[in-house]
């Protein structure tokens, strides 16, 4: 841990929560005049150069690495670089641009700062489980402070793709299945990254991704096609992107998938008609990694053809593939694109650089002393530990096994018990893995000598060595024990027999979810399940600490294991945070942002489904000629919004200020919540509505509000929500945004399943 003076400590804390004032006031007219003058001096080739984004290769997220970068910078053929870090390296690249290129146009520098920079916070799906928008914004603010101190000014985040298919690996990188929750998180993250002023040197320009519908890839297979109705698109999948844009996000990234037959990167309806004309987006659009080139495999033509089509669709910057750089001039000469097309894209890139203050000071992000002060600051690590503890979801606690006593002997067993490099989770490309404690190390640091900890790895992560190698990419492999499984199990059981309680650290490794990490079987790997079965046979209390980047099928575990704590991947301070929760220093308060299925055959599975014309009767899992399965219930194992606590929260009846809502005005929805247990705890009160009769079919429930409160034992609080007509609006069959008069049900409760309800009418 760094030792920093009190004055520096206060300084760093101050810059986390406020952006510095700009050096000089700038107006849109100032920017327009500046860019008009600059573009008047640019050649066509220099304009095209601004549309070229290359990688420096520090964190490669695709199969292509850029070449001859220094020469191209000097020749004005590069507009930005990603995967280059540190003020020293970035200054050197920026000096090439502003000293050797003809027009001295500065570069923009980006990176996938997804859930923290060096201080890593829970994976986005875990952060969503906190249901704490202030905390989410703080994590993005800290990420911006650290990343900008290391020379960066652009992040490819937030990822706001709705996903309802746990097979899709990148579900870990988003906020889950719900439109409303994801929209609120999108706003919070944009505000955290961009602060109050992008010209401040401690902010990052946000990039909303992946536009659009990427999380709805067919069969949960990454990069696959997406096909859905406009009605579903506008009501369920597009709102989070719009929320981020309305919050001021400066850039947007395209998705890999096609949308109703046209890949996003070449989809003019999506990139221009919706994004620009309907939503009024004024920033710039960048492709995902080599997305222009991949249009060839989509079947849209050769590189020149797909590059021209992408530009005309509304794309402004080409990531890595260099299709724009190598073909647009030829397309211009042949009349396939116009200079106005090129000018439009170039202007948007230059505007982004202007808004970041790079023309005023190209080296504003290159102060090496800032990196020394800000990165991995103790205050940042403390916030990471808090965020991790709040993200964990207690799925089961029969017999009140948790919290554990800070005495006796604990057997910590499992392949994920002593692997610090896996704790940050996927998409933590800049993490300091050498200084990330494992669960074992975190428990020992938190507990000291008060608890005797016996450790054994228990089993290999997976059975097949080759699969293990693929599933633990980027140097985060778990050492493999090549002895017979029976011998390893015997040792693990012998260790467990010496303990008072067993903590089993099982699940996925960090890279078993994330990009290009789809899984058809979303259960705990069989070899680990066999270990768990043997541990249960000891008769000792067993606590399953589950590491995962997606919902897993835990039907057997729910039946057999008394206590299950879902830890996701909690970031840099995961090990300590898990110890905090296991031993009662932190009362778990996380709530699932995504439904956990009983069986993979149920997916896609989500709470806000339609009722169908043949719904099942309540509390019945099979009826003939109804919309159901023959072999499993329709209901999930754990519903959206679910999560237990060490204490007990009791809900009173839902009361309404009126039995009708007028077109102008609001309706107050109130409920009293009491802490009837023995521990101080936090509870997320969730409000859902149902439109009973509509011109189109409507979901059985939709989240429309939530509040997180903290209650002492015996304390009660009345929580009130205000509903307005805007909360009842949706896109109808004509894509008009309307609220239709009629009856509504309002539900309030601890999750999407366990609620109390009341009814009201929206008046004509």
Give me the active site residues, please. 288
Pairwise CA distance, residues 286 & 255, whole Å: 10
Enumerate residues 6+ apart whose C-beta is below 8 A from 25.
none
Structure tokens at 750: 């601890």
Structure tokens at 475: 């140097």
Per the DSSP assignment, residues forming a β-bridge with 737 are 731
Nearest to residue 678, comparing CAs of 749, 587, 582?
587
Structure tokens at 311: 């530009």
**Distance in angstroms between the alpha carbons of the first and the last residue of the chain:** 63
Nearest to residue 307, comparing CAs of 334, 347, 276, 278?
334
Cα Rg of the chain, angstroms: 26
Give the count of beta carbons closer than 10 Å to the beta carbon of residue 407.
12
DSSP 510: G
What is the helix (H) or strand (E) element at residue 55, kind and residue range? strand 52-55
Nearest to residue 307, comparing CAs of 273, 330, 285, 284?
330
Distances (CA, A) of 12 to 2, 373, 466: 13, 7, 45
Nearest to residue 427, comparing CAs of 329, 305, 568?
568
Phi-psi region of 86 (alpha: psi -120 to 50; beta: other; left: phi over 0): left
Strands (E) in 376-507, as ranges, are: 393-397, 409-413, 452-456, 501-507
Pairwise CA distance, residues 440 & 448, whole Å: 12
Residue 128 CB-half CA count within 13 A: 34
What is the helix (H) or strand (E) element at residue 194, kind and residue range? helix 179-194
Strands 681-691 and 702-711, by their bridges, are antiparallel
DSSP 120: B
Length of the chain, please? Answer: 764
What is the helix (H) or strand (E) element at residue 138, kind and residue range? helix 133-149
Nearest to residue 592, comparing CAs of 550, 562, 542, 545?
550
Structure tokens at 490: 């015997």
**Residues 102/49, Cβ–Cβ less than 8 Å:** no
- Residue 277, class by beta-carbon neighbours within 10 Å (0-12 exposed, 13-18 middle, 19+ buried)? exposed
Nearest to residue 69, comparing CAs of 82, 58, 56?
56
Distances (CA, A) of 288 to 207, 224, 263, 315: 11, 15, 12, 11
Pairwise CA distance, residues 52 & 76, whole Å: 10
DSSP 702-717: EEEEEEEEEE-TT-EE
Residue tagged 């900890």 (tokens): 453
Structure tokens at 304: 């020149």
Strands (E) in 311-435, as ranges, are: 318-319, 393-397, 409-413
DSSP 688: E
Phi-psi region of 239 (alpha: psi -120 to 50; beta: other; left: phi over 0): alpha
**Over the range 512-533, which residues count as b (16 or more CB within 10 Å of their CB) and which as e?**
bbbbebbbeebbbbebbbebbe
Strands 649-651 and 667-675, by their bridges, are antiparallel
């Amino acid at each position: 841990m760094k030792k920093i003076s009190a004055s520096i400590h206060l300084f760093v804390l101050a810059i986390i929560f406020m952006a510095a004032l700009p050096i000089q006031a700038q107006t849109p007219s100032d920017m327009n005049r500046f860019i008009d003058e600059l573009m008047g001096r640019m050649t066509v080739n220099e304009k095209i150069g601004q549309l070229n984004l290359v990688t420096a290769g520090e964190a490669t997220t695709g199969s292509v690495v850029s070449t001859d970068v220094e020469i191209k910078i000097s020749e004005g053929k590069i507009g930005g670089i990603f995967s280059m870090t540190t003020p020293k390296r970035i200054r050197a690249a920026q000096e090439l641009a502003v000293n050797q290129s003809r027009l001295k146009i500065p570069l923009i520098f980006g990176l996938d700062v997804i859930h923290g920079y060096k201080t890593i916070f829970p994976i986005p799906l875990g952060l969503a489980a906190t249901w704490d928008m202030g905390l989410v914004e703080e994590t993005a603010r800290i990420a911006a402070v650290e990343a900008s101190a290391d020379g960066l000014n652009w992040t490819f985040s937030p990822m706001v793709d709705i996903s309802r298919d746990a097979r899709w690996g990148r579900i870990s990188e988003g906020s889950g299945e719900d439109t409303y929750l994801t929209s609120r998180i999108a706003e919070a993250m944009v505000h955290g990254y961009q602060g109050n002023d992008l010209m401040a040197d401690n902010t990052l320009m946000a990039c909303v991704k992946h536009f659009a519908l990427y999380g709805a890839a067919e069969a949960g297979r990454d990069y696959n096609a997406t096909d859905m109705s406009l009605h579903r698109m506008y009501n369920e999948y597009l709102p989070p992107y719009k929320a981020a844009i309305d919050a001021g996000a400066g850039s947007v990234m395209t998705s890999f998938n096609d949308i109703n037959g046209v890949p996003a990167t070449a989809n003019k309806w999506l990139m221009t008609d919706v994004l620009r004309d309907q939503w009024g987006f004024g920033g710039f659009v960048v492709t995902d990694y080599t997305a222009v080139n991949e249009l060839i495999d989509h079947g849209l033509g050769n590189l020149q053809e797909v590059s021209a089509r992408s530009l005309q669709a509304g794309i402004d910057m080409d990531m890595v593939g260099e299709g724009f750089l190598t073909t647009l001039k030829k397309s211009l000469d042949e009349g396939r694109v116009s200079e106005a097309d090129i000018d439009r894209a170039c202007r948007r890139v230059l505007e982004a650089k202007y808004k970041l203050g790079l023309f005023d000071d190209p080296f504003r992000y290159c102060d090496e002393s800032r990196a020394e002060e800000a990165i991995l600051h103790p205050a940042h690590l403390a916030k990471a530990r808090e965020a991790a503890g709040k993200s964990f979801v207690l799925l089961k606690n029969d017999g009140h096994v948790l919290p554990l006593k800070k005495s006796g002997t604990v057997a910590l067993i499992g392949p994920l018990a002593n692997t610090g490099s896996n704790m940050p989770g996927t998409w933590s490309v800049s993490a300091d893995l050498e200084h990330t404690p494992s669960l074992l190390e975190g428990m020992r640091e938190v507990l000291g000598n008060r608890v005797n900890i016996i450790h054994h790895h228990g089993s290999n992560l997976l059975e097949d060595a080759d699969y293990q190698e693929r599933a633990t990419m980027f140097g985060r492999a778990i050492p493999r024990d090549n002895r017979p499984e029976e011998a390893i199990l015997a040792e693990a059981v012998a260790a467990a027999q010496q303990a008072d309680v067993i903590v089993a650290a099982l699940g996925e490794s960090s890279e078993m979810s994330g990009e290009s990490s789809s899984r058809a079987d979303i259960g705990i790997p069989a070899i680990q399940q066999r270990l768990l079965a043997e541990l249960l046979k000891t008769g000792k209390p067993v606590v399953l600490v589950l590491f995962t980047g997606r919902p897993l099928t835990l039907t057997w575990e729910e039946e057999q294991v008394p206590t299950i704590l879902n830890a996701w991947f909690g970031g840099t301070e995961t090990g300590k945070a898990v110890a905090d929760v296991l031993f009662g220093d932190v009362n778990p308060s996380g709530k699932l942002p995504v439904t956990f299925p009983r069986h993979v055959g149920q997916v896609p599975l989500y709470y806000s489904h339609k009722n169908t014309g043949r719904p099942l009767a309540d509390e019945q899992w099979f009826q003939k000629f109804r919309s159901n399965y023959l072999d499993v219930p329709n209901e999930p194992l754990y519903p959206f919004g679910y999560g237990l606590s060490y204490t007990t929260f009791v809900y009173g009846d839902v009361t309404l200020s009126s039995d009708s809502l007028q077109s102008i005005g609001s309706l107050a929805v109130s409920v009293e919540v009491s802490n009837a247990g023995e521990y101080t705890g936090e509870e997320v009160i969730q409000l859902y509505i149902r439109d009973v009769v509509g011109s189109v079919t409507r979901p059985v429930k939709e989240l429309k509000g939530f509040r997180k409160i903290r209650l002492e034992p015996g304390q009660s609080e009345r929580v009130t929500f205000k509903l307005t007509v805007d909360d009842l609006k949706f896109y109808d069959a004509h894509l008009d945004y309307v609220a239709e008069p009629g009856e509504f049900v309002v539900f309030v409760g601890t999750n999407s399943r366990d609620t109390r309800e009341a009814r009201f009418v929206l008046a004509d």
